[in-house]
Amino acid sequence: MKDIILKSSDGVLGRRDVSESKRKPLWLKASIPKGDNYLHLKTKLREKGLFTVCEEAKCPNLSECWSGGTATIMILGDTCTRACKFCHVKTGNPKGFINESEIADTSLLIGMMTLRYVVITSVDRDDLPDHGAKHFADVIARAKLDHPNTKIEVLIPDFDGSEERMRLVAEAAPFVIAQNIETVKRLTHVVRDRRAGYEKTLNCLKFYKTHYPHISTKTSIQLGHGESWDEVQATLEDLRDASVDIVTFGQYLRPTSHHLDVKKFYTPEEFEEAKRMAMRMGFKFVASGPLVRSSYKAADFLDFVEALQ
């Protein structure tokens, strides 16, 4: 059985036989969401027929984020036109349908949860002429109008690299624009849908920072697909060349037996090393850990910015 070896600047970080990837380590155990605040909010949301990505994805960090006034909301429906091999979101063709009530419902949810920071994300909508860019902009605009003190982060599709579509979202002036690179260059075609692309994502992130330098940019890397440490470093270098401000690292976990297998479970110490490496390279903010997801404790960046002011 072949070993996987990762090296840090100080030498070998860890060696683990790939057969261990069949057993989930103890540090990936997560507690069930609980607490009076969580139960109260969940009841209020159900009464209005509102849902968060945090619940739908069974996020292990739900209670922690909700208690901190942060949540993630998904718009543009629940059916993605792409089929990335790590993702459990339903795929298909929504045939151009948009639920316009999402604009008001998103604002309502922000108010009900008294969010200080909200992440608005979506499925890919290649079936729409503008890939959903205008709807994104309309949701942002309404949320900012109704809740001027709430910071808005958007985790968006690539809009097929169209600058016109990207401008629609950027002109709505969210606090952070995030687009996930997901994995290293070599594994992009293995992990992501064929319509996604390593260079396409980099070019989109660079576009936002070049034309809207006041908006912070963010991306996320899943570890555990079989990448090497050198490839992770090369990806970080490419992201810094695109002037990306924020990067997160999380452990890839296989949703079902039909998805990609986990090649390696990284230790908490290895995630700390990934964070140190990214910080040394000049990223403004880094979140890294086995249970970290792209929107995990997103408001921590707001705290970081406010501390500098």
Domains held by the chain: number: 1
pLDDT at 8: 38
> What is the spatial distance between Cα 155 and Cα 40, in angstroms, rounded to a whole number?
27
Q: Has residue 53 got a pLDDT over 70?
A: no
Q: Note down the domain range covering 137.
A: 3-308
CB neighbour list of residue 132: distance below 8 Å, 6 or more residues apart = 75, 76, 98, 122, 125, 157, 159
For residue 88, give both structure tokens. Answer: 């459990």
> What is the spatial distance between Cα 74 and Cα 57, in angstroms, rounded to a whole number?
11
pLDDT at 3: 37
Contact in structure between 45 and 16 (CB atoms under 8 Å): no
**Number of residues in the chain:** 309
CA distances 179 to 34, 68, 258, Å, are: 30, 23, 25
Mean pLDDT, rounded, for 256-281: 95
> What is the spatial distance between Cα 305 and Cα 299, in angstroms, rounded to a whole number?
10
CATH code, domain carrying 168? 3.80.30.20
- 123-139: b or e for each residue (b if 16 or more CB lie within 10 Å)? bbbbebebbbbbbbbbb
> What is the spatial distance between Cα 144 and Cα 139, in angstroms, rounded to a whole number?
9
pLDDT, one tens digit per residue, over 87-117 is: 888 899 999 999 999 999 899 989 988 888 9
Q: Has residue 7 got a pLDDT over 90?
A: no
